[in-house]
Amino acid sequence: MEPCPVFIGGRWFTPDGLPTSPVHNPSTGEVIAECPLGDAALVNAAVQAASDAFPVWSETPPIERARIFFRYRQLIETNFDKLCKLVSREHGKTLSEARGDVYRGMENVEYACGAPTLLMGDTLENLARRVDCETVLQPLGVCAGITPFNFPVMVPMWMFPLALVCGNTFVLKPSEKVPLSAVLLIELLQEAGLPEGVLNLVHGGRESVDTLLTHPTVRAISFVGSSPVAKYIHETGTKHGKRVQANGGAKNYIVIMPDADMPKSIEALATAAFGCAGERCMAGSTAITVGAAADKMLPSLTEAAKAIRVGRTDIEQQPDMGALISAAHRDRVVSLIDGGADQGAKVLCDGRGVKVDGAPNGFYVGATIVDQVASEMTIAQEEIFGPVLNVMRTDKLDEAIELANRSAYGNGAAIFTQSGHAAREFKHRVKAGMVGVNVGVPATVAMFPFTGWDASFYGDLHIQGKEGVQFYTQQKVITSRWFGSEVEDVWRK
């Protein structure tokens, strides 16, 4: 069994007397660790350690904070393969997908290394006669991050690197399903020279989350997860006076026009729908075909989906797709496919009941395509978070945009077309925060904010980029005027 300690005040330890939650290898169903479910006392200790570290860390020059993250970036690169294998083992991603997870996380570290520039303010001399004005960005205090299972490295690194270089201290609570990657991430940051108490790690469930949301010392909360929980996080955190950025779920639409480059569109659509086994909030979970696009696309797309090899990701011979995170989640995905079929949709490629040699207890669902999905069906309304592509048919682009805009979510949307006019209409009118034109997964990179809309995001300032810097800092405006007899004499002449 892998150790799963907490990290508080610069000390690693496994708390005694707490209940635990099993950490599985999804490829086999084997329990590989027991994650301690922290209570309020444990979280309070982590917050206190972060609070104690804040005065010195906040006064550390930004360039010195950045140097720690330059060293951290090098350590991540040195331990890149180790991190990827750990992500694959506890999550079920393929090694290729795990590399993407770690690499995208590392990009956020690289962005954070620009702290001296990111934290620069503005100045204006002679705002009025002999009056100067300047702005400075100062840290908030103790911040906290609550992260999901689907990107064990990238999502925590959306949060703590930028929060720390901005001068805050931090408490990280990763998903209890994938705690081991977070342990390694913090071990490497400790090796890079981060002072004690600046970053703390706790594990847990509802009690840990509620303690962070209501703790009077915590100034800001960053969250990624499902929309119902994101809504709860935002409402509870803001009620207790905290800044909150809470990213929720999604139902992302990809419109396929009849003039699209079909081979390239099919390749991109398969990646968007089935990559990471569909366990990502930017998954292209619904294709809306316009006119003749369905007949041009579906035969080849169905062949491509059936050819996707599902298997263990903890062995040298890698499959195209790994397992889902848990048996319960696998069963939920299967039940949604069942419900779609019962309500009249047509399953063109069926991933239910897929078997993997040597892994009878793994949590597998194969690539699935469900055609003739109607908007009133449950499968069309709920976020599936699995390797399932819904296909909805329309006659015109206007209908496709209207159909996409009915969704309560607003994370991502994309269009595949060779028409500049169609692309312009779509990107202007579709109600989503991230839009792709001939790009199936329009997820942003570190220097741009991750801009979900509507039920996909609760808050004001988004994760990543300049908005991330704004979220983790507070702006002070200073207006100055200095008096002196020599200056007065010169002025009077």
Q: Which residues are catalytic?
A: 281
Edge-to-edge strands, sheet with 123-128: 123-128, 131-139, 473-480
Structure tokens at 413: 């949307």
List Cβ neighbours of 273 (8 Å cut-off, separation of 6 or more).
283, 284, 285, 287, 367, 387, 388, 389
- Number of CB atoms found within 10 A of residue 452's CB: 30
> Residue 246's closest CA among 81, 411, 15, 389?
411
86: number of CA atoms within 13 Å, CB side?
21
Backbone angles phi, psi at 481, to 5 degrees: -145, 135
d(CA 223, CA 245): 6
Report the helix count and the strand count for the chain, using DSSP H and E.
Answer: 17, 22
d(CA 449, CA 453): 12
Three-class DSSP labels, 434-457: EEEECCCCCCCCCCCCCCCEECCE
Structure tokens at 424: 């312009």
Residue 138's H or E segment, with its range, is strand 131-139
> Residue 260's closest CA among 86, 414, 124?
414
354: number of CA atoms within 13 Å, CB side?
29
Query: What is residue 428's three-state secondary structure?
Result: helix
Beta strands 142-146 and 6-8, pairing class: unpaired
Amino acid of residue 400: A
Measure Cα distances from 230 to 53, 325, 432, 440, 459 in Å.
29, 20, 17, 25, 10
Q: What is the largest CA-CA distance in the chain?
A: 93
Q: Rounded to 10 degrees, what is the CA torsion of 347, 348, 351, 353?
A: 60
d(CA 437, CA 222): 29
Residue with tokens 């395509």: 369
Classify residue 278 by burial, with Cβ atoms within 10 Å: 0-12, 13-18, 19+.
buried
Residue 471's H or E segment, with its range, is helix 465-471
d(CA 124, CA 133): 5
